[in-house]
Each structure stands twice: as structure tokens, then as C-alpha cells.
């Protein structure tokens, strides 16, 4: 396909990637266990809150399902228009996860969906960021600090690995979006009120 056709195809697919991002993994799994995840624990419909309330296995399941939303978007975008297409659809999926039209634009933080996108598009960087999250979260017992660590580390890793500036800027913008979503967590961290990763803590 020509460049123009590729661009049009990506534009057409952006709404579909957004809708894929709205798939409520955490809400559905928690509801199956008799819990409204949006009013329990931290109230965030994401993997960390599910893991805290319902155990590690279900938390990991939510992370995988949310990550697949980003990964699928990346694969489709890459096949059509390379890295530019992959990043465009990845951003759409993350926005869909964070601001789902199906739930009054009240979604999660976007970490797992963004993480799935990164792993699919940059496997080595994705593996490094996964390790960084695990180490930071394990040492601090705070999922939010793990998320903030990778939000800072990802664009740095892109730059170190020699990715084009357009990709680095896009990655930095996506990470800034994730950090913005974690502002309430930062406030709780400063106050010492941030919830631990430990179950039911």
C-alpha cells in the first residue's frame, strides 16, 4: 500500500483500537467474584487493585488481558504502517482504557495496556521495563512507584537504544499521560497513605 493509503487505514482503525482499549477486564473479573472494583480498594479498575483484593493470579490475568489490548493494537498498526502506525493505535488503545466511553470515561491508569504495547513493539525494552516494575514494586510494595519508574525509564531506554526522535517524543508523551494519571497516587505517597500491593492491605 502507498503511504497515503497506510495513513488512511490507520486513521480508520484508531476508533477500533480505542474501543478495544475500553474492554473492561478488571471490572468483569472482579464482578465474577462479587466485587465492584470501582468502589473497592483504591477504586482503580486495574491489575494492581484486582491483585490486592482478589489475589495475585487474578491480578496477573487482568494485567495480561489489559496488555493484550495494547499488543494487538501494536501488531495491527505495525503491519499496516510500521512503527508510526503501531504507536498511533497503541495510544488509541491506552486512551480507550483510561477514558472508556462505555463507562462514563472513568477507566484505569493505562499502565498494563501501555506495557503490552511496549512489549509487542520493543521486546527487549519491554522486558527491561517489566523487570524494572517488578523490582521497584517488590522493594517498595507500591505498584504506583513501579509504574512511575517505568514511565520515566521507557523514553530513556528508547533514546539509549537509538530509536528515532519521533518515536521517543511519542513514547515520552504516552509516559507523561501515565504519570498524569498517577497524580493522586503521588499525593497519597507524600502523605504516606498509598495502598500497599499486599492483599487486602
Residue-wise pLDDT tens for the chain (201 aa)?
A: 567 788 899 999 999 999 999 999 999 999 999 999 999 988 899 998 999 899 999 999 999 999 999 999 999 999 999 999 999 999 999 999 999 999 999 999 999 999 999 999 999 999 999 999 999 988 998 888 999 999 999 999 999 999 999 999 999 999 999 999 999 888 888 888 877 766 544
**Cα 170 from Cα 190, distance rounded (Å):** 29
- C-beta neighbour count of 141 within 10 angstroms: 14
User: Are residues 127 and 84 in contact, defined by beta-carbon separation less than 8 angstroms?
Assistant: no
Q: What integer pLDDT is reported at residue 111 of this predicted model?
A: 93
CA distances from 87 to 32, 43, 91, 125, 199 (A): 33, 29, 6, 15, 34
Kindly tell me the sign of the dihedral angle through the C-alpha atoms of 184, 168, 131, 114. positive
In this structure, what C-alpha cell is assigned to residue 140? 517498595
Q: What are the boundaries of each domain within the chain?
A: 3-191
- C-beta neighbour count of 43 within 10 angstroms: 13
The distance of Cα 45 from the centroid of its chain, to the nearest Å, equals 12
Kindly tell me the sign of the dihedral angle through the C-alpha atoms of 127, 64, 70, 12. positive
Q: What integer pLDDT is reported at residue 6 of this predicted model?
A: 85
Whose cell is 515520552? That residue is 172
Residues 6+ positions from 145 with CB-CB distance below 8 Å: 136, 137, 189
pTM to 2 decimal places: 0.90
**Cα 180 from Cα 174, distance rounded (Å):** 10
Q: What integer pLDDT is reported at residue 2 of this predicted model?
A: 67
In this structure, what C-alpha cell is assigned to residue 185? 497516587
Q: What integer pLDDT is reported at residue 194 of this predicted model?
A: 79
Amino acid at each position: 500500500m502507498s503511504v497515503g493509503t497506510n495513513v488512511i487505514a490507520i486513521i480508520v482503525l484508531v476508533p477500533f483500537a480505542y474501543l478495544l482499549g475500553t474492554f473492561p477486564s478488571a471490572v468483569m473479573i472482579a464482578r465474577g467474584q462479587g466485587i465492584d472494583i470501582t468502589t473497592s480498594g483504591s477504586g482503580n479498575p486495574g491489575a494492581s487493585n484486582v491483585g490486592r483484593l482478589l489475589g495475585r493470579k487474578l491480578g496477573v490475568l487482568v494485567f495480561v488481558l489489559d496488555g493484550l489490548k495494547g499488543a494487538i493494537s501494536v501488531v495491527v498498526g505495525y503491519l499496516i504502517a510500521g512503527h508510526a502506525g503501531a504507536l498511533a493505535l497503541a495510544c488509541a488503545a491506552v486512551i480507550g482504557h483510561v477514558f472508556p466511553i462505555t463507562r462514563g470515561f472513568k477507566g484505569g491508569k493505562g499502565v498494563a495496556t501501555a506495557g503490552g504495547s511496549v512489549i509487542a513493539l520493543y521486546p527487549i525494552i519491554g522486558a527491561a521495563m517489566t523487570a524494572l516494575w517488578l523490582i521497584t514494586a517488590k522493594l517498595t510494595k507500591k505498584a504506583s512507584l513501579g509504574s512511575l519508574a517505568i514511565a520515566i525509564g521507557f523514553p530513556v531506554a528508547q533514546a539509549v537504544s537509538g530509536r528515532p526522535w519521533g518515536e521517543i517524543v511519542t513514547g515520552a508523551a504516552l509516559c507523561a499521560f501515565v504519570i498524569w494519571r498517577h497524580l493522586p497516587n503521588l499525593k497519597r505517597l507524600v502523605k504516606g497513605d498509598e495502598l500497599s500491593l499486599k492483599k487486602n492491605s
